[in-house]
Amino acid sequence: MKKFILDLSCVSELLQRSLLLGLLWCLCGTAAIASETKPNVVFILADDLGWSDTSLFQTTKFYKTPNIQRLAERGMTFTHAYASSPLCSPTRSAILTGLSPARTGITTPNCHLPQVILKATATRTGPANQRATFPSSVSRLSTEYYTLAEMFRDNGYATGHFGKWHLGATPYSPLEHGFDVDVPHWSGPGPAGSYVAPWKYPDFDPNTPNEHIEDRMAEEAVAFMELNKGKPFFLNYWMFSVHAPFDAKQSLIDEYRKRIDPNDPQRSPTYAAMIESMDDAVGTLLDTLDRLQLAENTIIVFASDNGGNMYNQVDGTTATSNAPLRGGKATMYEGGVRGPAVVVHPGVVEANSRSDEVIQSSDFYPTLLELLSINPQPNQEFDGISIVPALQGKSLGRDAIFTYFPHSPPVPEWLPPAVSVHQNDWKLIRIFHGGENGDHRYKLFNLSEDLGEQHDVSSKYPERVDAMDALIETFLENTQAVRPLPNQNFDPAKYQPAQEGIGRIKNTANPSNQKPKPKRVKPVAGWQADGTCTLAVDGDVLVVTSRGGDPYFSCPLPKPIRQQTMTLRFSMRSQSAGHAQVFWHEQGVAPAFYRDRSVRFDPEHDGRTHDYVIEFSPAKPVQAIRIDPSRAAGEMQLSNIRLTTPAGEVLHRFKP
């Protein structure tokens, strides 16, 4: 028998090697798993939050935003952050697609209106006092786009949308665009009814009396994070705040009322209270990320969808001021498109840092792809760029950004349909066909010397205008933008160039403070003309002639129609301008017609007949209807006006 002698020292060495290899394997495996842990992403989008509405730029001491400041201390604040549009829906489409509104065709916030439009079209006629026409905007975000949410979902993320959407109801809701969760599943342009309960969201009731919708949205978002804390998640928190209607917690309003400085342009206690509730929601999200120990592995983006609303009134003053910027929401000036923005990414973005690089809403999609090392889809293109170099403290080296807004809302600082380009410190606005003989007109500003855009230097630098306008032309061609055309109905006798930039401020806070109504005249076909219009009948057509301002007309019903969801249907041909609104008078409720009992919509003012279906859900029987058909001078012809059920059953027909 052979004897084998085992060298224990060798065994010891083998064991040590095995243990070492095993340890190394475990460490490498752990490192590999750690490297594969995907960062969570929280995208916070405020609604109508202006550049001066937070403490980030120290423009006012009236507002309290400690949580937004806390967010800034964790990441990078951008001083030159631009929305892709001065109105909300176009910017929201840019965030989700990385594309300019010029390319998607969503150029106005009409996505809550009944008519589904998936392709923008040019119009050849418009109001006689306008040199250029307004293109017909797309009214839904098409499901053909590969959205930011779909990208996250396809890469293993749980996806949740909370708050405002305004890109279309089912089948164009968040649930059809890549989100697993959508709360409160609301397609309207703002909060349903009010911020403080009772609300009017279908199938979404408050948990407590007087609950604030932003508190509730934050609570729902917390539940989403807690449910998905074991996997990567994309939380899309698009706030209702601080969009109209202007209401807030009474205790906060009372507190801010004590702090008003009459010399500060920021002096609305209601608006300040709304901002504090918005900031509280940001704090709730940050607290939850800290508590769940997720903050170090979460990217946070905070931005606004457009500039501050400086043309509605509340508390006897404008809601806010964007000073030192000119203009606000719905204008092409800086106050309409420039706002606060913060990006947080621990370990990648330096804490408490600032950047003067120019960024835009369409940049966020390609930026998140690069931060997460995710490739875009084959043939997927973006109008935005990745801003990762800026997040690393470097220059972006971009040539220019563009804002396309081919519309003209009648608000202070309004402009005719326009497109702008920012290049370094220079900004050029092209006003489509705003000059003589159908030529374009231009405004040029040097923002480093004239942040308030008070001095148009286009005549001083014609070569720069030509060079920057060539950039605009290339942009319009690349995006295949549907452009305004010379208006074939233009009447020079009705054109008032001196009125450009002068708008009527509408008091939406206190109807009792409005100017006295003009003397009532004899009703026409049951309709009573009010505001700034007269009525006449031409066969089966109700003819409305507006002098501008606020034309409206109303009609009582023979008897109240019981509470139910109903629609006002009619055909209208308009040569006026501006948004429209339908009000209903609920039995026993005063005042008869009030903003909370209304639906706003954007009619086509192109001189052609269009059909409209306005749906609403009254809380009590309805006893009268009011129509505000426009916000400008011009003639409108309405026919086949009737109240129906959503299925089309006629409840009452208004006979001319």
Q: Which residues of 345-376 are buried (b: 16+ CB within 10 A; e: fewer)?
A: beeebeeeeebebbbbbbbbbbbbbbbbeeee
pLDDT band at residue 412 using 50, 70 and 90 as cut-offs: confident
Q: What is the pLDDT of residue 503?
A: 63
**Alpha-carbon span 149 to 158, nearest angstrom:** 9
- pLDDT band at 509, cuts 50/70/90? very low
Quick: pLDDT tens for 167-211.
999 999 999 999 999 999 999 999 998 999 999 899 899 999 999
Alpha-carbon distance of 422 to 447, in angstroms, equals: 9
- 514 burial via Cβ count (<10 Å: 0-12, 13-18, 19+): exposed
**Model pLDDT, residue 495:** 81
| 513 has a pLDDT exceeding 90 | no
Identify the pLDDT of residue 522.
Answer: 64
Q: How confident is the model at residue 646 (pLDDT cuts 50, 70, 90)?
A: confident
Amino acid 31: pLDDT: 37
- Rounded to whole angstroms, the Cα distance separating 558 from 560 reads 7
User: Mean pLDDT of all residues in the chain?
Assistant: 89
Q: Which of 566, 555, 553 is nearest to 628 (CA)?
A: 553
Position 30 pLDDT exceeds 60: no
Q: Residue 36's pLDDT is what?
A: 57
Give the separation between CA 578 and CA 229, rounded to whole angstroms: 47
DSSP, collapsed to helix, strand or coil, labels residue 273 as helix
In angstroms, rounded to a whole number, what is the distance separating the alpha carbons of residues 371 and 365?
A: 10
Q: How many CB atoms lie within 10 A of CB 582?
A: 22
CB contact at 8 A, 399 and 120: no
- Mean of pLDDT values over 401-408: 97
Q: What is the DSSP string of 574-625?
A: E---S-EEEEEEETT-SSSS-GGGEEEE----SSSEEEEEEEE--SS-EEEE
pLDDT over threshold 60, residue 24: no
pLDDT tens, residue by residue, 310-341: 888 899 888 999 999 999 999 999 999 999 99
Per-residue pLDDT of 201-246, as tens digits, reads 998 999 999 999 999 999 999 999 999 999 999 999 999 999 999 9
Which of helix, strand or coil describes residue 479? helix
pLDDT exceeds cutoff 80 at 499: no
Residue 119 in this model has a pLDDT that exceeds 50:
yes
Q: Give the pLDDT confidence score for residue 270 in this predicted structure.
A: 96
CB crowding 399-433: b at 16 or more within 10 Å, else e: ebbbbbbbbbbbbbbbbbbbbbbbbeebbbbbbbb
Mean pLDDT of 515-542: 74
Q: Give the chain's largest Cα–Cα span.
A: 128
Contacts of 132 (CB under 8 A, 6+ apart): 126, 416, 417, 431, 432, 433, 434, 484, 485, 486, 487
What pLDDT is stored for residue 562 in this prediction? 92
Q: What is the percent of the chain with per-residue pLDDT over 90, rounded to a whole number? A: 73
Given this model, what pLDDT does residue 338 score? 97
Q: Is 543 within 8 Å of 535 (Cβ atoms)?
A: yes
Please tell me the least confidently modeled range out of 82-91, 119-128, 370-379, 417-426. 119-128
Number of helices (H), then strands (E), belonging to the chain: the values are 12, 26
Give the tokens for residue 369.
């792809």
For residues 96-101, average pLDDT = 98
Please tell me the predicted confidence (pLDDT) of residue 297. 97
Contact by Cβ (8 Å): 349, 391: yes
Which residue is listed with tokens 């009648």?
A: 410
pLDDT, position 510: 41
User: Does residue 520 carry a pLDDT above 60?
Assistant: no
Please name which of 97, 498, 488, 65 lies closest in space to residue 266, comparing C-alpha atoms.
65
Average pLDDT over residues 376-380: 95
Half-sphere exposure of 353 (CA within 13 A, CB side): 19
- Counted residue by residue, the chain has a size of 656
- What percent of the chain is modeled with pLDDT above 70? 91
